[in-house]
Amino acid sequence: MSSDSPLVIVGASYAGLQLAASARESGYCGRIVMVGEEERLPYQRPPLSKGLLTGKSSVDMLPLRSDAFYRDSGIETVLGRRAVRIDTSGRRLSLDDGQTLAYAWLALTTGARCRPLPVPGAELAGVHMLRTLDESLALAASAGQAKTACVIGGGFIGLEVAAALQARGVRVTVVEAQSRLLARSVPPIMSDYIRNAHESRGVRIETGRGLRSLRGEDGGVVAAELADGTAIPCELAVVGIGVIPNDELAREAGIAVDNGILVDACGRTSSERVLAAGDVANMLHAGWGPDGAQGRYRFESIQAANDSAKACASVIAGHPAPCQSVPWFWSDQFNLKFQMAGVPQPADQVVLRGSMDNDKFCLIYLRAGRVAAVHTVNRPADHMLARRLIAAGAKLSGEQAADEQFDLKRLLAGPAVSPPAAPQSRA
Partner 1 sequence: MPTINFLLADGTTRSVEATTGRSVMEAAIHGNVRGIDAECGGCCSCATCHVYVDESYLPLIPAADEMEDELLQGVASERRPESRLSCQLIVSPALDGLTVSVPESQS
CB of 419 to partner 1, least distance (A): 27
Query: Up-side HSE of residue 413: CA atoms within 13 Å toward CB?
Result: 6
- Residue 63 binds to partner 1 (criterion: CB under 8 A): yes
Q: Which of 12, 20, 41, 50 binds partner 1 (CB under 8 A)?
A: 50
Q: Does 385 bind partner 1 (CB under 8 A)?
A: yes
Does residue 72 bind partner 1 (CB under 8 A)? yes
Which residue, 16 or 121, has its beta carbon nearer to partner 1? 16
We find the least distance from the C-beta atom of residue 24 to partner 1, in angstroms, to be: 12
Residues 151-180 interacting with partner 1 (rule: CB under 8 A)? none
Binding flag, residue 337, partner 1 (CB under 8 A):
yes
Query: Is residue 339 part of the contact set for partner 1 (CB under 8 A)?
Result: yes
**Cβ contact 22:47 at 8 Å:** no
Is residue 1 part of the contact set for partner 1 (CB under 8 A)? no
Q: Which of residues 186-205 bind partner 1 (CB under 8 A)?
A: none
| Interaction of residue 210 with partner 1, rule CB under 8 A | no
Distance CA 180, CA 205 (A): 10
Stretch that binds partner 1, among 86-94, 259-267, 312-320, 378-386 (CB under 8 A): 378-386
- Of 65-73, 143-151, 279-287, 393-401, the window that binds partner 1 (rule: CB under 8 A) is 65-73
Q: Is 51 in the site for partner 1 (CB under 8 A)?
A: yes
Of 211 and 277, CB closest to partner 1: 277
Q: Out of 381, 413, 415, 425, which residue is the one contacting partner 1 (CB under 8 A)?
A: 381
Please tell me whether residue 332 binds partner 1 under the rule CB under 8 A: yes
Closest listed residue to residue 74, CA positions, set 168, 141, 1: 1
- Please report how close the Cβ of residue 66 comes to partner 1 at its closest, in angstroms: 5
Interface residue with partner 1 among 38, 54, 64, 115 (CB under 8 A) is 64
Sheet with 148-152, strands from edge to edge, namely: 127-128, 236-239, 148-152, 171-176, 204-207
Residue 59 binds partner 1 (CB under 8 A): no
From the CB of 329, what's the least distance to partner 1, in Å? 10
Show the 3-state SS of the chain.
Answer: CCCCCCEEEECCCHHHHHHHHHHHHCCCCCCEEEEECCCCCCECCHHHHCHHHHCCCCHHHCECCCHHHHHHHCEEEEECCCEEEEECCCCEEEECCCCEEECCEEEECCCEEECCCCCCCCCCECEECCCCHHHHHHHHHHHCCCCEEEEECCCHHHHHHHHHHHHCCCEEEEEECCCCCCCCCCCHHHHHHHHHHHHCCCCEEEECCCEEEEEEECCEEEEEEECCCCEEECCEEEECCCEEECCHHHHHCCCCECCCEEECCCCECCCCCEEECHHHEEEEECCCCCCCCCEEECCCCHHHHHHHHHHHHHHHCCCCCCCCCCCEEEEEECCEEEEEEECCCCCCEEEEEEEHHHCEEEEEEEECCEEEEEEEECCHHHHHHHHHHHHHCCECCHHHHHCCCCCHHHHHCCCCCCCCCCHHHCC
Binding of partner 1 by 38 (CB under 8 A): no
Stretch that binds partner 1, among 158-166, 203-211, 292-300, 331-339 (CB under 8 A): 331-339
User: According to the binding rule CB under 8 A, does residue 306 interact with partner 1?
Assistant: yes
Q: Which of 26, 54, 207, 378 binds partner 1 (CB under 8 A)?
A: 378
Considering only 380, 398, 414, 415, the residue that binds partner 1 (CB under 8 A) is 380
**Choice from 124, 239, 249, 302 touching partner 1 (CB under 8 A):** 302
Answer yes or no whether residue 46 interacts with partner 1 by CB under 8 A.
yes
Question: CB under 8 Å to 68, separation ≥6 — which residues?
Answer: none
Q: Applying CB under 8 A, does 13 fall inside the site for partner 1?
A: no
379, 389, 400, 411: which one binds partner 1 (CB under 8 A): 379
In the complex, the smallest distance separating the C-beta of residue 384 from partner 1, rounded to whole angstroms, is 2
Q: Which of 251, 218, 254, 224 has its CA nearest to residue 236?
A: 224
Interface with partner 1, residue 359, by CB under 8 A: no
Smallest separation (angstroms) from partner 1 to the CB of 299: 14
Q: Are the CB atoms for 240 and 152 separated by under 8 Å?
A: yes
Residue in 6, 11, 16, 47 binding partner 1, rule: CB under 8 A:
47
Identify which of residues 8 and 52 has a Cβ nearer to partner 1 in the complex.
Answer: 52
Phi, psi (5° rounding) for residue 351? -120, 130
Q: Report the interface residues with partner 1, using CB under 8 A.
A: 44, 46-47, 50-51, 61-66, 68-69, 72, 302-303, 306, 330, 332, 337, 339, 378-385, 387
